[in-house]
Amino acid sequence: MKALFMGLGYIGLPTAAVAAKNGIDVIGVDINPDVVDTINRGEIHIVEPLLDKVVKEVVENGNLKAKTKPEEADVFLIVVPTPFKQNHRADISYVESATKAVIPFLRPGNLFIIESTSPVMTTEKIARLIFKARPELKNKIYIAYCPERVLSGNVIYELENNDRVIGGINEESSKKAQEFYKHFVKGQLHISNARTAEMCKLTENSSRDVQIAFANELSIICEKAAINVWELIDLANKHPRVNILQPGSGVGGHCIAVDPWFIVSDFPEQAQIIKRARETNDYKADWCANKVIEACNQFEAKHNREPIVACMGLSFKPDIDDLRESPAKYITSRIISEARAQVLVVEPNIKTHKTFNIVDHNEAYKKADIVAWLVRHKQFINYKEDKGKEEFDFCGVYK
């Protein structure tokens, strides 16, 4: 069996490599020639534990070859980005252009799968695009949607062991896709239809977003009421049927901070809580920035000099180097541009950055008058609160 993956990023490359490790003849296509060259040398261009070993092995044994152009195959997978546009609408232009690139190579009996996170009805739309260009393929190829739900840092394990949801445009397509994934997925492969599978992926991330928004809203209420939110949540969670998540400085990353908008933009009347959750989590980042900026003003009025502020963490969650949609990065940028202060930027997982001058965390903490804890990195959790400083524990380093 030969499978062709369009897109070799955080999801496409590990999936292609794991499929190749399980005996599938894999062609990985990426429009970025540097990505293709790196992979063909047996190396990787993203940070992900164990991936380097798997890629090296499958490139050396010839099961994975990277190319810049597609060719004929038995199975085609679309794993390209789906960001949102200015108006929060999903941008499916990458999915469309990757599909257009493979249309000339489709043959009867082929299986075409979209893995990119997509708004509801995208698979049907892409099927129409294919059949418009190649009407003779109608009812002759199989088309399915199968979203990814891996956690960065644990991708190789989760790719093989997580359950997956598969939604074909018809039953035969779902079954064909299920057979394909059985080659390398040990988790259960649940069959549904394309719309449900698309909505399922968006629902998973919206569910997380709504639950985090609840915790973030509590943290803002607790600050007003002078209640320790960490203690409160800990106590509330003693209830056998309550499980509140932890608040933070907002919600970031390319999934939870993005995907709920795909529901909101398509169902604006119906998606009330999902929209409010997104707004609440975005507001939390502004609330944190406002707190620190206000503290800087008060410091200057009291001490007649600008404070030194340490912004502790830039990434969108603990112990990673990924800054996509990061609330910590947003808060830091706002403090730099709006506060009258000397700002020290800390991110232990990054050595250098094109915009920020990264400072060692011990040095920044020592020098700072005001400390904003933005990400709960492991390097931060052994600090002892210094009463001589003003500290904002937005992410629970002292909980």
Ligand X SMILES: NC(=O)c1ccc[n+]([C@@H]2O[C@H](COP(=O)([O-])OP(=O)(O)OC[C@H]3O[C@@H](n4cnc5c(N)ncnc54)[C@H](O)[C@@H]3O)[C@@H](O)[C@H]2O)c1
Indicate which residues carry an active-site annotation.
201, 255
Interface with ligand X includes 252 (CB under 6 A)? Answer: no
The correct pick among 51, 251, 255, 370 for binding ligand X (CB under 6 A) is 255
Of the pair 31, 336, the CB lying nearest ligand X is at: 31
> How many residues are given for the chain?
399
Please select the residue that binds ligand X; options are 3, 4, 8, 364, rule is CB under 6 A.
8
- Contact pattern for ligand X over residues 199 through 218, marking x by CB under 6 A: --------------------
CB-nearer residue toward ligand X: 35 or 371: 35
Parallel, antiparallel, or unpaired for β 164-168 and 308-312? unpaired
**Three-state secondary structure call for residue 374:** coil
Q: Shortest approach of ligand X to residue 94 CB, angstroms?
A: 5
Residues 140-199 that bind ligand X (CB under 6 A): 148, 150, 152
User: Which of the stretches 29-37, 48-56, 228-236, 276-284 binds ligand X when contact is defined by CB under 6 A?
Assistant: 29-37
Among 4, 7, 36, 281, binds ligand X (CB under 6 A): 7
Q: Which two tokens mark 351?
A: 């050595």
Indicate the residue type of 217. Answer: E
Nearer to ligand X, 88 or 334 (CB): 88
Cβ density class 327-357: b for 16+ within 10 Å, e for less: bbbbbbbbbbeebebbbbbbbbbbeeeeebe
Is residue 35 part of the contact set for ligand X (CB under 6 A)? yes
User: What is the rounded CA–CA span in Å between residue 317 and residue 311?
Assistant: 14
Nearest residue (CB) to ligand X, 8 versus 308: 8
Q: Where are the beta strands (DSSP E) in 287-335?
A: 308-312
Between the alpha carbon of residue 116 and those of residues 45, 186, 246, 269, 355, the distances in Å are: 19, 21, 28, 26, 30
Which two structure tokens, joined as six digits, stand for 369? Answer: 């008058």
What is the token pair recorded at 200?
């399922």
Judged by CB under 6 A, does residue 38 bind ligand X?
no
Q: Does 79 bind ligand X (CB under 6 A)?
A: yes
The least CB distance from residue 56 to ligand X, in Å, is 19
What's the DSSP call for residue 150?
Answer: P
Cβ pair 77, 98 in contact under 8 A: no
332 binds ligand X (CB under 6 A): no
Dist CA 83 CA 379 (whole Å): 31
For ligand X, what does the binding mask look like between residues 92 and 131, x meaning CB under 6 A? --x--xx--x--------------xx--------------
Q: Which amino acid is located at 232 in the chain? A: L
Residues lying near ligand X in the complex (CB under 6 A): 6-12, 29-32, 35, 79-82, 94, 97-98, 101, 116-117, 148, 150, 152, 254-255
